[in-house]
Amino acid sequence: LGGKSEPTVSAGAGLASSRGSSIGTSGTKATLDEMQPTELAPAGNPPQTFFTQCTIASIKPDQTMWYNACPEPSCNKKVIEEGSGYWCEAHQQSFQSFKRRYIMSFKAIDRSGHCWMSTFNEQ
């Protein structure tokens, strides 16, 4: 129809695949419904890890997709902009820079149900 053709790229292009890697292999395979706790674990207990296959049904539209975090390598706490620096409450210190940490909330679905999840930089 005489229009300009634009190349298309898969939504997952460039993302690492978990096939053949150790991602998720330390957890139990479960559906989303099976992952819902019957009661909350006491504070201080180690987190439970699950491996599941699901589909992202929607991404929360009104969220900020990142936050400014402490530049220290071992700290992921949010910093507060103040004057010419960024204050880290965890370190009780002001820094001249920050690192950007990404976070995304999304609704996941599988054959058993749905739930809201959050994913961060390294996940």
Task: Indicate the average pLDDT of the chain.
Answer: 80
Mean pLDDT value of segment 5-30: 49
pLDDT digits 0-9 by tens, 29-81: 889 988 887 776 788 888 778 888 999 999 998 988 999 999 999 899 999 99
Q: What's the pLDDT band for 123 if we cut at 50, 70, 90?
A: low
Phi, psi values for residue 35, rounded to 5°: -80, -15
8 A C-beta contact, residue 112 and residue 119: no
Helices (H), the chain: 32-35
Which residue would you say has higher pLDDT here, 24 or 76?
A: 76
CA–CA distance from 74 to each of 65, 69, 70, 81, 82 (Å)?
21, 11, 9, 20, 22
Mean pLDDT value of segment 20-28: 51
CA–CA distance from 17 to each of 7, 61, 122 (Å)?
23, 25, 13
